[in-house]
A and B are shown apart, each in its own frame.
Chain A
Amino acid sequence: MAINTSIYGAPETWTTAQYLTFAKYANFNTAAAPENTLLQGSVRGKTPTGELIENSICTQALGSESLYSNVVWVHDYGGTQYIKDERSYTPYFLAECVSTAYNIQNNVSYITPIYNYNSWKPYITDEAFQNKSAYSKPIVEYQPKKIIYRIFMRVCDASGNERPDPILLDRADLPAEQEVLEQYPYVASAYMRVYVDSSDTDTPNREEIYNNSLFGVCPNVTYNAETDNININYAFFRSMRYSHIPIYGCFGTNYFHDDYYTGCLCDTADIVIDSSYVSARHLWNNDFKEYLIKQAACFGGFVYISQSTGVSILNIALDSDDVILGLLDEYGVGHGEYTRGAANRDNPIWSWSTNRDSPYDPYKEPPSEKDTQSHFNNVSIANFNKVWVTSYNEVKDIIKEVYKALRRKPTDVQTADYSADSFLSTDPINGIISIRRYPVNVVPNDNNPVYMTIGNYTSDTVQARRFINAPNSQFIDFVFSGNKRFDELYNGSFLDREPYTTAELYIPFCGTVPISVADYIGHTITVKLAIDYLSGSCTAYVLCDNTPLQSANGQIGIDVPVSGINTATVDSQLLNANLRLKESQRQQLSASTAFFTTPFSLFMSASGGGKYGIASAAQGVGSLVSMGNNFESSWDNREAAAYELHHIQTPFKSVSAGSPLTAAMGEHCCRLTIYRPILSSDYDPETYAKTIGFACLINGKVSDFSGLTMGTIDLSGVNCSDREKELIAAAFARGVIL
């Protein structure tokens, strides 16, 4: 591999490490560094931040299977922001730092997520570089066999109470550790520590690198205040206090490599490795153990994973069954595959004399015809309404306010159309275009709560977060992704293929997707679920390794229908009811006036009217009775009108349960269901092999086979009679024993 000597210097300038005698460093910033070296920062060339670190120091890359290629950043730049980064691979290299400057970290006041003193000069400011007692050096050359990783795990109970001491993955099967795991069954975080062998003999004599650290990959975040954007560059490893390379869980930025940080406190974490488990701890089991081992294997190094042989990591042989060795592909990228035990000797890394034998070249693109990587895009669309991220309580409060606007006092008949003016609709509830509940926590682009608005109406009590803070924004996001290997049960035989074996994949909210066994078996199935937060729809992408093969659509947003009534109708009803009330009041007034004046006129008629007067009075009594009836009737009318007035109200619909709601009750994990054939209990492979033989189609020579063999033989060159050739051919056709 070519070395960029303008940055890393010529090999003769490299120095042997103080603590890692098998490694050589580029001579950057020690006191002995000559003029015009990187000690002076800009004199020697810099690799611009964000540009790929080339293979002067990069030994390999971590593939998309590595959680380092799927990091989520959580940072508080005026509101918590989440940034997901997905990449096909992440460059990786080793460096060493001496962290005596640990205690002066507070000298740095600007935004920087890590101890700058320990960072490599090209990526830090001069201010942070003043402390010469600390340094970090990228390792330009080392022997892979001298380094072995060990996996540590932080565990906790269901309440998040963390065990003070980590436990070792290689000890997890031991009874003592299993007792611990019963009490603390969740893995909150995991990281690797480095053990090195500085001896020159073939017999390992390792020690743990502790205060002087080898360190790993870390994203480099830049914040642009003008555009309010945060960018992630995986430009350089960050330093640390100990030799930790996190491989799972949540880590604070400033403690990225510090095991004192409790991985349980994801709410305050800055870095979340593995976005599938953003706030979750994973239950310890064998599958998760394998998951962690594969994460470690992505680094393409030796990892101590068990103590079955009883040999300590300090002395374990690298071809022991307790040791795995990560496999790299032809491009030097680790995908989590590994060899174990004696097979480690067949792993190409075993034969590397130094890391410089790696085929990795970050600028070497895979051939286009072999482009099996998925290419997902960010999508921004224009939206002229307002989209809010709220809680149930906030939704409830804003709906209350809207209905409050509908509520009228009986005499409160509006002449101006208050609803149309405020809510841009005669029906205030129309100002709310949609309410959808999602079975995930929705992450707003702007986390600052502001008073909610509906049209021209601004609530003075209900606050919510705007989904976006720009006209064009992304409403579509992947809410989860994860993968699982679809393993063969019958050694990849026809029994592992259709029609004998069939499979289907259940994807939450999208239903069940038939899986072509031939396409996926022996590969890793990845599912990514994209949500359109505006429509509530979702699309699941099913990837075979990194190649998208299938997709399925579904509905994840639970529609919460809220209907009202046109306020014009309400106002009209209020107006009419008021008019009817007033009419009945007038009728009642008229009736009561007549009722109280009639007895007087009746008396007058009776006293002065003779028989006609009596008759008139008798008629008047009838009229009085009638008036009494009118009075009662008008009273009833008034009561009815008042009742009607007070009982005009908006008809409410209850929240209806659509299919997404029922789906929300369902299983939330993707589930691969495999239907495998069952062999007869009488089937005995040994007997079957001797008497029937296994179907195959193999070309070769007779001497290549053993046991019962059936096939077509070519007897040309055999010196025997035709009859004998017929007999031989017939015997092979029926089956012979070789």
Chain B
Amino acid sequence: MAFTIDIGYTTDNTYKVNKTVSYIAQGVLIHPLSTVNQLSPVFVVDYDSRFLNANYVRANFLGRKYLCTVSVDTAQKMYLSCSVDCLSSFALGNCPITVTRNGGIGAPTEIPDNKLPVIPNRKDIDSITVFNSSISDFANDPRALNYVVTTVGGV
């Protein structure tokens, strides 16, 4: 099995799952080292100026993807110091999750959010007339039947 890697770059956030990667070169031979750490390997490849802007490595022989930084020595070797991108290396889509914050919802939910920038001590007052009642027609017409007089009974 040939120990090759794919070298590319991504502009996505480091905490994005399933990053979009543009690969510069695939099947790049690496120089063998005695040991390769699976979580934070260092790959040595021949110098290629295209790799100077690389920040992403896919190593199929390790079954993982890595974020990397590039360094160059005077012997025309490039060192890709990597750390595993575990968010993109494994299929997480079916994992159960309880989400406490989410941007895809698009609007506040029923769950109180103390990070939402509500201006303290200020309120927007909205006053609605529920309905006009017949009281609205209260007239000062002296002929209007709006007095109730109670008198003592009698014959």
Q: Which residue numbers of A lie inside 8 Å of B, CB to CB?
A: 275-280, 282, 384-396, 398, 423-425, 430-444, 452-457, 464-465, 467, 479-480, 482-484, 489-495, 497, 500, 505, 508, 525, 527, 529, 533-534, 557, 560, 664, 668-680, 682-683, 685, 688-703, 705-715, 717-721, 723-724, 727-728, 731-732, 734-738
Contact = CB atoms under 8 A, between A and B. Distances in A.
Interface in B93-135: 93-113, 115-119, 122-135
12 contacts: A279-B137, A430-B152, A435-B149, A437-B147, A467-B148, A495-B118, A668-B138, A695-B100, A698-B98, A709-B99, A735-B15, A736-B87
A525 B129 CA distance: 11
A37 B24 CA distance: 90
B147 A721 contact: no
B40 to A, nearest CB: 10
List 6 A-B pairs, minimum CB-CB distance, nearest first: A482-B131, A707-B103, A689-B103, A480-B133, A695-B113, A693-B101
Given A678-B123, A693-B103, A713 B92 contact: yes
B122 A701 contact: no
Given A391-B147, A465-B145, A675-B125, A493 B95 contact: no
B87 to A, nearest CB: 6
B106 A424 contact: no
B111 A695 contact: yes
Contacts of A738: 17, 104
A530 to B, nearest CB: 13
B10 to A, nearest CB: 12
Given A678-B123, A713-B95, A728 B151 contact: no
Contact of A669 (B97, B124, B129): B129
B146 A685 contact: no
A668 B135 contact: yes
Given A484-B131, A497-B110, A717-B95, 9 more contacts: A431-B151, A441-B134, A455-B152, A676-B126, A700-B97, A709-B101, A721-B38, A736-B87, A738-B17
A62 B127 CA distance: 30
Contacts of B126: 489, 673-676
Main secondary structure of the interface of A (DSSP, over half): mixed
Contacts, number: 388
A479 B89 contact: no
Contact of A440 (B112, B146, B149): B146
Given A455-B154, A669-B133, A394 B100 contact: no
B86 interface: yes
B144 interface: yes
Contacts of B152: 385-386, 423-425, 430-433, 454-455
B36 interface: no
Contact of A696 (B105, B142, B153): B105
A728 B87 contact: yes
A388 B133 CA distance: 24
A26 to B, nearest CB: 40
A690 B95 contact: no
B99 A711 contact: yes
Contacts of B148: 387-390, 434-436, 438, 442, 467, 533-534, 557
Given A454-B151, A529-B133, A731-B15, A679 B97 contact: no
Given A392-B147, A669-B131, A712 B97 contact: yes
Nearest to B83: A727
Contacts of A679: 116-119
Contacts of B112: 494, 695
B35 interface: no
Main secondary structure of the interface of B (DSSP, over half): loop
Contacts of B113: 494, 694-695
B150 interface: yes
Contacts of B13: 737
Nearest to B19: A737
A683 B117 contact: yes
A388 B102 contact: no
B84 interface: yes
Nearest to B128: A672
Contact of A728 (B92, B101, B108): B92
A433 B151 contact: yes
B101 A694 contact: yes
Nearest to B131: A482
A679 B115 CA distance: 11
Nearest to A666: B135
B111 A437 contact: no
Contact of B93 (A392, A483, A696, A701): A701
A678 to B, nearest CB: 5
A433 to B, nearest CB: 4
Given A279-B134, A454-B152, A718 B117 contact: no
A720 B99 contact: no
Contacts of A390: 145, 147-149
B149 A432 contact: yes
Given A391-B143, A724-B86, A694 B150 contact: no
Given A669-B129, A680-B119, A705 B110 contact: no
B23 interface: no
A40 to B, nearest CB: 48
Contacts of A495: 108, 116, 118
A242 B98 CA distance: 61
Residue among B102, B107, B110 facing the most chain A CB atoms (10 A cut-off) = B102
Contacts of A436: 147-149
B16 interface: yes
B39 interface: yes
B2 interface: no
B34 interface: no
Given A678-B124, A682-B117, A705-B102, A480 B134 contact: yes
A495 B105 CA distance: 15
Contacts of B75: none
A277 B132 contact: yes
A413 to B, nearest CB: 25
Contacts of A423: 152
B90 interface: yes
B1 interface: no
B42 to A, nearest CB: 18
Contacts of A439: 135, 138, 146
Contacts of A732: 97
A727 B17 CA distance: 13
